[in-house]
């Protein structure tokens, strides 16, 4: 019996030691974490003010270097070891980067990279990403704090702004730079989108005005539909689109729900609402009307 136990213990120790030499299973890419949509050989931009580069895809890995917002890196691997930092989960990637004139390799946590980058007609560079995710509470699922920055040619931050983003199962993100859309005092308007492709998954849009010195968080809009049975759409109309008051921004809301799902031709019960915002050249505020 004693000999049998010793043999079993020896086999257990051998198998356990063998398992430790293999790559941990947690290092498999989590396919659901792809708002960044980065692939091997893609170039990415550092979003965090300071991003630490380590020799392994864990926070306890040896610190190799630190990069700052605007620095470029090249993706060398798929994602490793999804890790919760700043309140949300994202994997690590092996990267190639330049430090002190020398090309090096290391690992970076994906949440420190920009979701998108853009340049306006004045040549200013804009990047956006996540600052953090707030904790979930009994009344709130926890919102991501979306941040947008503008950088000078030395990658110094000239301005930044934050906005809470309600995100769940959106598939990808886009960044579009509009002109001032008829709003005096703005150089451009930045629309950051998180788009849903599946039924019941909303597409959310967040607007920031840029006056050349600072960002002005404006408002958001949401569009969603569910198998043709229900839809909810918000449309923004700027002065250059509605040709009314040049300080007026309009949000038209339409919500439709099928009256009889079994009917041969679907008819909708439709509700419409209009919200108005005033732009005074510096800030935007919703116009509350008595009903």
DSSP letters for 76-105: -S--EEEEEETTEEEEEEEEEEEETTEEEE
Q: How do strand 116-119 and strand 125-133 relate by DSSP bridges? A: antiparallel
CA 149, distance to chain mean position in Å, is 13
- 93, 53 contact by CB (below 8 A): no
DSSP lists the bridge partners of residue 177 as: 190
Residue owning tokens 């990047």: 127
Domain ranges of the chain: 26-112, 116-287
User: Tell me, what DSSP letter sits at residue 25?
Assistant: G
Q: List the Cα angle 208/271/173 in 5-degree steps.
A: 30
Q: Which of 15-19, 106-110, 123-127, 139-143 has the highest mean pLDDT?
A: 106-110
- 250, 239 contact by CB (below 8 A): no
Q: Note the pLDDT tens digit of each residue in 117-148.
A: 998 877 889 999 999 999 877 777 789 999 99
For the chain, the average pLDDT equals 87
Fold of 26-112: SH3 type barrels. (2.30.30)
Which class for 229: exposed (0-12), middle (13-18), buried (19 or more C-beta within 10 A)?
middle
Task: Name the percent of the chain lying above pLDDT 90.
Answer: 71
């Amino acid at each position: 019996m004693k000999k049998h136990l010793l043999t079993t213990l020896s086999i257990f120790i051998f198998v356990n030691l063998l398992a430790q030499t293999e790559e941990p299973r947690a290092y498999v890419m989590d396919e659901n974490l792809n708002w960044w949509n980065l692939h091997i050989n893609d170039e990415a931009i550092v979003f965090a003010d300071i991003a630490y580069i380590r020799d392994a895809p864990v926070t306890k890995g040896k610190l190799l270097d630190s990069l700052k917002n605007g620095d470029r890196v090249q993706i060398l691997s798929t994602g490793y070891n999804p890790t919760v930092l700043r309140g949300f989960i994202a994997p690590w990637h092996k990267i190639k980067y330049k430090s002190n004139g020398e090309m090096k390799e290391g690992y970076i946590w994906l949440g420190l990279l920009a979701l998108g980058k853009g340049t306006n007609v004045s040549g200013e560079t804009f990047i956006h990403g996540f600052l953090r995710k707030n904790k979930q509470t009994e009344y709130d699922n926890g919102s991501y704090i979306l941040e947008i920055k503008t950088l000078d040619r030395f990658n110094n931050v000239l301005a930044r702004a934050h906005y809470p983003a309600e995100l769940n199962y959106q598939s990808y993100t886009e960044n579009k730079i509009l002109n001032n859309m008829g709003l005096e005092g703005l150089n451009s308007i930045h629309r950051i989108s998180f788009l849903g492709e599946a039924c019941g998954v909303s597409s959310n849009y967040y607007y920031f005005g840029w006056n050349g010195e600072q960002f002005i968080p404006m408002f958001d809009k949401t569009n969603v539909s569910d198998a043709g049975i229900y839809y909810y759409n918000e449309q923004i109309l700027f002065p250059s689109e509605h040709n009314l008051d040049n300080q007026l921004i309009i949000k038209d809301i339409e919500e439709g729900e099928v009256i009889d799902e079994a009917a041969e031709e679907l008819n909708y019960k439709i509700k419409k609402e209009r919200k108005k915002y005033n732009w005074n050249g510096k800030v935007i505020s919703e116009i509350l009307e008595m009903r």
